[in-house]
Amino acid sequence: MSVYKAVILSGSPFSVRADDAPHPDLSQIKGKIPLLGVCYGAQYLAHFNGGIVAPSNTREYGRARLTAIKNDEPFFYQITDGSQVWMSHSDTIKELPTNAVVLASTGDVKNAAYRIEGEDTYAIQFHPEVYHTTQGKLILENFLVHLAGLKQSWTPDAFVDTTVAELKAKIGNDKVILGLSGGVDSTVAAVLLHKAIGKHLHCIFVNNGLLRKNEFQDVLDQYEHMGLNVKGVDASARFLDALAGESDPEKKRKIIGKIFIDVFDDEAHKVEDAKWLAQGTIYPDVIESVSVTGGPSATIKSHHNVGGLPDFMKLTVVEPLKMLFKDEVRRVGASMKIDDERLGRHPFPGPGLAIRILGDITREKVAILQEVDAIFINGLREWGLYDSVWQAGAMLLPVNSVGVMGDERTYEKCVALRAVESTDGMTADWVDLPYEFLQKTSNEIINKVPGVNRVVYDISSKPPATIEWE
């Protein structure tokens, strides 16, 4: 174990009280090198070392405030009382483990942080790694840098140099097909690969019929100026026909993933000797879909670019961004001089509007949502709000409600607007958009989009909700 300078026990969807819960052997770690337990990790250290972990009386999700912080502890150096942290657990630590002392509490959680005396063993019930734990980065720095003595050597420039060298060595002169989406992740992946293999990269941008209004042509036009070899493929009818009548969100995602593979397989046969399929997969995609290490990780929702390729597709996957979060991807893109407008583009789900239309997909519903979405997104830009929002979009709900227009009764669709702030998508909080903006946007949607007579605004955070509704 001497090769490790510190160990972090992460969160988990399991309860430490369950028979099938993860049970790591800490005999060569605990008390010998710095150890930090986070959420499940904190409960694990308590449960198996003389403490008591029990179901919480309430679900503890979202924001909380640290109180009674022991600032004289190196672990909480410069952490201020009242600092916001992010909770996500259903069990709670009722009694601390042997030789433990409390380092901080919250209004609902007495044992929000503790350490084991005589060891460099620390535990916290909240998640320091997420954006909405406002001093989480400082807490991790205190543990990793000041307590464990690790050096902060990662930089975007170093990542680019290392990744380009690795791609050159791995791919050589082979041809690579990359599925562009127009978003930040696939664009950064494309530029990285282009730096490594140049003309051997063949980019394909697929119109799945579920893009934003006019997005297919707009994106193709933008890529013209980046020096990439990009081909546009309009497969919208293929996707929409395959989705007809399907309402289950996971099945919709699976259908879209299969069609994407089929389309890429068709295009791969048109590129002679293509051997690789590149994807802009990032770490949150992996976490929400499947455990990257094979360990326990709950599938929140499937991502069409996660999970490998079917046997019939004779391409090997390459994912240069697989271990990065969204904010890191943007920093890498900036280091390669990708323009700010493209790097600042809001994330857009791979399945597109299919998972923003709750229920079955029809061409009519797609057209309605495209118009609603365009009004919302263009409005954010016009009001100077776009860059203060991490992701925004509209959801078409499977709900009709009674309205009145021109003294006549209507019975039409309801749409929900969603705007969140985040850095990596792992956690998110709703944005308090100005009432005047929401009022104008609602009026414009109802007046200009036939079939919609009601607009609502989503004010739920992640967790417990997700950013997308499906």
Q: How many beta carbons lie within 10 A of that of residue 226, not counting itself?
A: 15
Catalytic residues: 39, 127, 129
Cα-Cα-Cα-Cα torsion 396, 398, 400, 401, nearest 10 degrees, comes to -80
Q: Using H for helix, E for strand and C for coil, what is the string for the chain?
A: CCCCCCEEECCCCCCCCCCCCCCCCCCCCCCCCCEEEECHHHHHHHHCCCCEEEEEEEEEEEEEECECCCCCCHHHCCCCCCCEEEEEEEEEEEECCCCEEEEEECCCCCCCEEEECCCCEEEECCCCCCCCCCCHHHHHHHHHHHHCCCCCCCCHHHHHHHHHHHHHHHHCCCEEEEEECCCHHHHHHHHHHHHHHHHHEEEEEEECCCCCCCHHHHHHHHHHHHCCCEEEEECHHHHHHHHCCCCCHHHHHHHHHHHHHHHHHHHHCCCCCEEEEECCCCHHHHHHHCCCCCCCCCCCCCCCCCCCCCCCCCCEEECCCCCCCHHHHHHHHHHCCCCHHHHCCCCCCCCHHHHCECCCCCHHHHHHHHHHHHHHHHHHHHCCCHHHCCEEEEEEEEEEEEEEECCEEEEEEEEEEEEEECCCCCCEEECCCCHHHHHHHHHHHHHHCCCEEEEEECCCCECCCCCCCC
